Amino acid sequence: MAILDALRDGPMCVKGVVKETGLSQSNVSNHLGRLRTLGWVAGEREGRRVLYRITDYFVEQFVRSQERPGARLGMRSRRRIARELLPAIVSALTRGAGDEARDLVHEAMLRGLAWRDLYLLVFAPALREVGERWQTGAIRVCDEHMASACVERLMARVYPGAIPPADAPAVVVACVEGNLHTIGPRMVADFFAAAGWRVRYLGADMPTPDLVLAARGADVVALSASDAEQLPALRQAAAALRGAPAPRPTTEGAEATSNGHNGGRPHRAPLILAGGRAAVGQKAAALGVDLVDRYLPQTLRLVERRREARDRCPVAWSPARPG
Ligand code: B12
């Protein structure tokens, strides 16, 4: 934030940023490299200097909107802003007015909503409202499709991206077979990625045998089911993940994972997490999974706690007895 704040009024060379922020030159160069990789800033050569400037529209607007870098609105204020925005955004979404929706989201960011707030307090409730309007016949299926397509684009715009460390745990996120509702699981994937996980996001309607292949070596598999009709597919996927044979050992004793996950670490069954409208309210044991959850900021904490418990007491952790 300090570096972005230094660049808010225009391009600056590394030396200038160092002076402005009081950070060391190596620290600034390192972070500028990261920000470049994210596409948030770019460096342009001018004579012997490289001038850095913010290139991402949303980042720029966000940085400018911050009176005090690092200041964050309280939950109540964020909820209020989201509530105020909701009717206009639902209207824009159901008309397929993508640019209008983008401007509203932009305004919300200027008022202090972060991407997580937009996901949970704006996009999710807006889509629920869209679903209700469709169910009562107030809008047509094409309006619902336009709305969800708009939200997917907005999510891609506001999600800032993250670079996981090489030894980060890995999660596979997928819709179970038959489930076309990808927006919730995309949010799950982004929450994990932002928390530093390596994410493999498989999208809609994932055939179970391929899910099992993609999940080899993953620490966690997160499955989404939106409709009660998809629960048998969820149970089947969980059972297949539990029954999957361990990856072949290589000559060095490392695992031959076809997907690069978990290279070299000892294999064990992934922790299976379920969510989505249909899974919520179901018992984990009845679904054959380890954990059912719905509120993403808490999901990450629960997953970490389960992983720690498993590390402390590996014997009690039996895939045959999901808790
Ligand atoms: C958009 C939408 C669609 C789009 C999806 C496009 C896309 N790219 O995703 C399309 C048009 C494809 C679609 C199709 C259908 N849909 Co639809 N759809 C919706 C709608 C309006 C929004 C869904 C959404 O994205 N919500 C926002 C996300 C963020 O919410 P979410 O998925 O619940 O995810 C949150 C949590 O559940 C959680 N979460 C989700 N997954 C996971 C996983 C894990 C591991 C964890 C921890 C958490 C987690 O995280 C998210 C953030 O909180 C809902 C309305 C609603 N009330 O949700 C109906 C809705 C889900 N659909 C419904 C129906 C009936 C259908 C169809 C059968 C309609 C039809 N006749 O064609 C088909 C079925 C398709 C299929 N086979 O899956 C019904 C389901 C009713 C039921 N029985 O439960 C709903 C509720 C509409 C309604 N009111 O009747 N749909």
User: 169 vs 111, 166, 215, 242, CA distance in Å?
Assistant: 34, 9, 12, 19
CA distances from 161 to 38, 229, 242, 295, 307 (A): 7, 33, 31, 21, 25
Tell me the CA–centroid distance for residue 321 and ligand 1, in Å: 30
Average pLDDT over residues 19-24: 87
Map residue 323 onto helix, strand or coil.
coil
- Answer whether 188 contacts ligand 1 (Cβ < 6 A): yes
Ligand 1 mean position to 120 CA, how many Å?
A: 14
For ligand 1, is residue 94 a contact (CB within 6 Å)?
no
Mapped to the 3 state alphabet, what secondary structure does 90-145 carry?
HHHHHCCCHHHHHHHHHHHHHCCCCHHHHHHHHHHHHHHHHHHHHHCCCCCHHHHH
What is the CB neighbour count within 10 angstroms for residue 201? Answer: 18
Taking CA atoms only, the protein residue closest to ligand 1 atom 91 is 181
Using one digit for the tens of pLDDT, what is the confidence trace for 301-315?
Answer: 899 888 888 777 655
Residue 162 in this model has a pLDDT that exceeds 90? no
Q: What is the mean pLDDT of the chain?
A: 86
Is 198:172 a contact under the CB 8 Å cutoff?
A: no
Which pTM does this prediction carry? 0.80
Q: Is the pLDDT of residue 183 over 90?
A: yes
Q: Whose CA is nearest to atom 41 of ligand 1?
A: 276
Pairing of strands 170-175, 220-224: parallel
Residue 71: predicted pLDDT: 55
Is residue 130 within 8 A of residue 139, CB to CB? The reply is yes
Whose C-alpha lies nearest to ligand 1, atom 82? 227
Q: What does the pLDDT average to over 194-205?
A: 94
- Mind listing the pLDDT tens digit for each residue in 118-143? 999 999 999 999 999 999 999 999 99
Whether residue 10 has pLDDT greater than 90 = no
55-88: pLDDT as tens digits: 887 787 777 666 544 456 788 889 999 999 999 9
Q: Is 182 in the pocket of ligand 1 (CB under 6 A)?
A: yes
pLDDT digits (tens, 9 = 90+) for 258-268: 444 444 455 56
Distance CA 41, CA 45 (A): 13
